[in-house]
Amino acid sequence: MGSESVFNSNGDSSKNFNKVVKEIFDLFEIFVGAIIIVTIAVAFLFRTVGVDGRSMTHTLQHKDRLIISSFCYQPTVGDIVVLNLPDRFEMPIIKRIIANEGQTINITNNGDVYVDDVKLKEDYIHDKTLKKNYNSYPVKVPKGCVFVMGDNRMGSTDSRDIGCVNKNNIVGKAILRILPFSSFGTL
């Protein structure tokens, strides 16, 4: 009888060991699966970008880190977007969409911005908007394009300089500031 109880004890121990090993492997599979899902989401749905320069001050600061997404994105007035314009800039740039295709933008001599004859309420800017030399106003935004400007109107190269931007050049919409941590939040 004594040997029988030892045998049962060893059998239970072996079963417990196998159960623990199985649980560890199950957790490992879940962990690997989560890493794969996050990697796919980051690769195809989201990207991180850094702000380089001061054209979006005071909304964004130089060296802020952002998460952008292009998944099912349709450009909307007011969106902050990253643009890839390799024929004009060495790196992607970040701007705000002011007008969409078919809309008419006008900048008055006193620095007010109108879209379709409605004055924009732009709490995010601190300086008046200058017309610059590229466009004669009003400007109707062509099909497939957007009109973009930086929030730091005195320190931004944007559609006032380079004209309307093709929507195909939009890399994605800025959705979240992740750095610095003190400014973490949605945009």
SS (H, E, C) the chain: CHHHHHHHHHHHHHHHHHHHHHHHHHHHHHHHHHHHHHHHHHHHHEEEEECCCCCCCCCCCCCCEEEEECCCCCCCCCCEEEECCCCCCCCCEEEEEEEECCCEEEECCCCCEEECCEECCCCCCCCCCCCCCCCCCCEECCCCEEEEECCCHHHCCCHHHHCCEEHHHEEEEEEEEEECHHHCEEC
CATH architecture of 51-186: Ribbon (2.10)
What pLDDT shows up at residue 64?
96
Q: Is 55 a catalytic residue?
A: yes
| Options 55, 156, 159, 167, the catalytic residue | 55
Out of 3, 95, 140, 167, the active site residue is: 95
Annotated domain spans of the chain: 1-49, 51-186
Mean pLDDT for each consecutive 10-residue tract of the chain (187 residues)? Answer: 49 77 90 86 80 94 94 94 94 97 95 96 90 83 97 94 95 95 91
pLDDT of 5 reads 46
pLDDT of residue 9: 52
